[in-house]
Amino acid sequence: MTAVRWPGALAWRLGRHHLEPSATTSVTDVVADLGAVAAQLDPSAAELGVRTRLRDSRPGDVDRALSEGSLVRTFAFRGATHLMTPEQAGVHLALRASTRMWERSSWREYYRLAPGDWPPLGAVVHEALAPGPLTRADLAAAVTAHPPFRHLGTAFTDPQATFLKALAWQGVLSLGPGGGPLTLQALGTNPRWTGLPDVDEAGPRAVEAYLHAYGPATPEHLRYWLTQGLGVRFTAVRGWLDALGDRVSRVAVDDEPMLVLRDDVPALAASGPTDVVRLLPQFDQWVLGPGTADVHVVPAELRAAVSRGARVVVVGGVVAGTWTITDQTVVVTWRPGADPRDGGVAAEVDRLAGLLGRPLRPATS
């Protein structure tokens, strides 16, 4: 079994995340390599997380990709909003839809829909959205014009969007581009959308995608990402892992057995540590992918702050502090015992200033 150390493993993962070095490709390619990008509370944070991984980018690149259809924004892991490519969305939504939670008795009673009502409802929603994006109120008006669905108006406009999530998981709709009021659009009109694959095809692809972006990983990481995130049974995840066979290898990271794609082992084994500094926005995939409970990435004393959405300072792949912006100053708060890298922070603040298009200077609290 190949043996590696955590500093080298995190340096290798930084490369997979295009955090060191930055990518020379596009926002679509970065999202593809990350598997999914959280975009729940602040779309600008999601765009900053993508753009900070690119050597060249412009404000609005994510919205342009959404408008062109090379990215979709939809409800995925834990019901939160994520950016994905259409292909990745198909894989992950297939797993989420396999739970068929809209067939539970509580859903049937609350929304007064039988399992057989959902396909015709999906067809009505698709027909309404096919000409272009609509607000929730406009979609509700179009759907409730059909007598079988006249009672669903408030289901479409509910701020919690619970009902909309079921339609998103079934591949009927996704969220529209742009800020302002939430809009919805038909997934079926996206030229790159090929529908939901069979779950036995999607499962191994989802496991492989996770290991591609977040390896080395343990089965517990897969449980966090796919079982807790998408609701599929962990026995199914184990079966998909087995289905990958020798495409997955086992390595020892500081004597801890972990999983990685076989083709990635040589590069992982050759990777040495790095002291690169990165300033990442709230809910960045660097911490959400392995989960904030992973102490190799997020020290235990910072977990609560990171889980609440603190912007993080990452040194060598490990969260070493947090940062805020006050006026034109980026204030870094190092965790106790961290080794401040003032030069690295200054360079990162300069890079952040370029991305945000405003003058910024560093400071330490």
pLDDT at res. 164:
97
- Contacts of 222 by beta carbon, 8 Å cutoff, 6+ apart: 207, 210, 237, 241
DSSP β-bridge partners for residue 38: 82
pLDDT at res. 166:
97
Omega into 216 within 30° of 0, i.e. cis? yes
Name the nearest CA neighbour of 151 among 121, 190, 127, 181: 121
Which segments of the chain have a pLDDT < 50? Answer: none
pLDDT tens profile 61-99: 999 999 999 999 999 999 999 999 999 999 999 999 999
Residue that has been written with the tokens 């108006």 in this structure:
153
Residue 71: CB atoms within 10 Å: 30
pLDDT tens profile 193-249: 999 999 999 999 999 999 999 999 999 999 999 999 999 999 999 999 999 999 999
CA distance 253 to 48: 31
Name the nearest CA neighbour of 182 among 150, 156, 144, 152: 156
